[in-house]
Homo-oligomer: A and B are copies of this chain.
Amino acid sequence: MCADVGDRTGAFDLDGALARARAASRRLAAVDRAAVLRRVAAALRRDEAPILAANAADVARARATGTPEPLVDRLALSSARLRGIADAVVAVASLPDPVGRVLEGWRLPNGLEVRAVTVPFGVIGMVYESRPNVTVDAFALAFMAGSAAVLRGSADALASNRSLVASMRAALTEADPRLADALALIDDADRGRVTELLQARGRVDLVIPRGGAGLIRHVVETARVPVIETGVGNCHLYLHDDGDPDMALAVLLDGKVRRPGVCNALETLLVHEATAAAWLPRAAAALREHGVTLHACDRSRAVLAAAGAPLDGVVPATAADWDAEYLGPEIAVRVVDGLDTAIEHVHRHGSQHSEAIVTRSRAAARRFQAEVDAAAVYVNASTRFTDGFEFGFGAEIGISTQKLHARGPMGLRSLVTVKYLVDGDGQTRG
């Protein structure tokens, strides 16, 4: 077999790239990272022609291999999209520096002074399968947080990513030749390089995967380095018996219809039995209007049938539906006998991402927020707000669905760690 290795002449030297990234990361403390990022943004605008040409080649290859048009659209850049990507780099550069913040400090009885100060991770790896803009976003965020970025994008976007990385590295070199290696693209189709990255203990400080459930699972199962799991969302909306029906309908449609392919979209609707007869037929009609298929439990189907609602687009829910992340025009629907069953359902099937209740009851709202174990728990609002920009973080590297280090939307401040500085006059413990 003769693999298509493009213009490469040998395997990518990951060990070398990580060592150079480490060395470059140590330079970052000495530079105005915001100023450098503005130069990077300018370079991306300046290099529009070669970047769009490389992207056109990726797009043509994708079409030739029969990639569905929505995925081609995710891959495709345009002059406007590239300007948007460059603008996002400028936006990151304008955020407060997350490095060097004294989080707390105190004096010990022996006179030692202790300060906890935010410091960079060092080398951050990103493994992703998204649009080419992630290549730029991930670098900009890591760099602003004082770390070098080692990126592994999808094979589909390789030409685009090479071109974007070349432009950004040129800008880094112009700013300071020793900075160029603060950005590396793992330019190698061999999946073994990903495994190497995930197991490079001591040489990469953190790896963040961004993509579908399969990618996340592979990374978590392979990694021997610290990882932050992101972005798998089986999000629920529970309508309590006293919830405002119009509000519930608005929150439901916002969560299911506007952008069903994102992780904070709704995947399951739970309805209190006391309100199901009056509300569920109306909700089903609205979902039907938007082409959403309902995977409905027996009681839900009985309620709809009793109301004379049309049952095409309504299919019986199977056990698998409660755990499904459809990411499309489908929703699981269950009638429950109350708050306890709703919370128990979320505990059993949720992915600890975002969960919402619509209720007028203070007690129900408090119990739902206290007992549901998820990154974000909403009362009378859409799960779609779980997002770094919506939360006001000014940027987002991903949404953590695990409990270590960062939970929910991760902005710049989730990309730093801490160091204790201790100052004394010869203190010993004795």
- A: residues with CB less than 8 A from B are 26, 29, 106, 108, 112, 114, 119, 121-122, 201, 205-206, 220-221, 224, 226, 228, 244, 246-247, 250-251, 253-254, 258, 347, 358, 365, 369-371, 373-382, 384-386, 390-392, 402-405, 407-408, 417-430
7 contacts between A and B (CB under 8 A): A122-B373, A122-B403, A205-B403, A247-B426, A250-B426, A376-B419, A380-B427
Contact partners of A386 in chain B: CB under 8 A: 420
In this complex, the member of A224, A390, A405, A429 whose beta carbon has the largest number of chain B beta carbons within 10 angstroms is A429
Task: Give, as a whole number of angstroms, the nearest-CB distance from A147 to chain B.
Answer: 10
The complex places the Cα of A206 from the Cα of B221 at a distance, in Å, of 15
Give the number of copies in the complex: 2
The answer on a CB contact under 8 Å between A112 and B381 is yes
The complex places the Cα of A165 from the Cα of B221 at a distance, in Å, of 32
Task: Give, as a whole number of angstroms, the nearest-CB distance from A148 to chain B.
Answer: 13
Which listed residue, B226, B246, B258, B358, touches A404 by the CB 8 Å rule?
B226
In this complex, the member of A122, A254, A421 whose beta carbon has the largest number of chain B beta carbons within 10 angstroms is A421
Indicate whether A250 sits within 8 Å of B29 (C-beta atoms), given known contacts A390-B108, A418-B407. no
Which listed residue, B247, B390, B392, B422, touches A377 by the CB 8 Å rule?
B422
The answer on a CB contact under 8 Å between B258 and A429 is yes
Contact partners of A224 in chain B: CB under 8 A: 220-221
The complex places the Cα of A430 from the Cα of B251 at a distance, in Å, of 9
The complex places the Cα of A405 from the Cα of B121 at a distance, in Å, of 12
Contact partners of A253 in chain B: CB under 8 A: 428
Which listed residue, B221, B407, B424, B425, touches A419 by the CB 8 Å rule?
B407
Which listed residue, B244, B392, B420, touches A376 by the CB 8 Å rule?
B420
The answer on a CB contact under 8 Å between B417 and A403 is yes
The answer on a CB contact under 8 Å between B420 and A382 is no
Nearest-CB residue, chain B, relative to A356: B422
The answer on a CB contact under 8 Å between B26 and A421 is no
The answer on a CB contact under 8 Å between A250 and B428 is yes
The complex places the Cα of A112 from the Cα of B251 at a distance, in Å, of 14
Nearest-CB residue, chain B, relative to A372: B419
Contact partners of A358 in chain B: CB under 8 A: 426
Indicate whether A381 sits within 8 Å of B422 (C-beta atoms), given known contacts A206-B403, A392-B106, A428-B254. yes
The complex places the Cα of A427 from the Cα of B408 at a distance, in Å, of 19
Task: Give, as a whole number of angstroms, the nearest-CB distance from A269 to chain B.
Answer: 15
Which listed residue, B376, B377, B407, B422, touches A385 by the CB 8 Å rule?
B422
Which listed residue, B221, B381, B392, touches A424 by the CB 8 Å rule?
B381
Indicate whether A427 sits within 8 Å of B382 (C-beta atoms), given known contacts A376-B420, A376-B422, A419-B377. yes
The complex places the Cα of A107 from the Cα of B402 at a distance, in Å, of 25
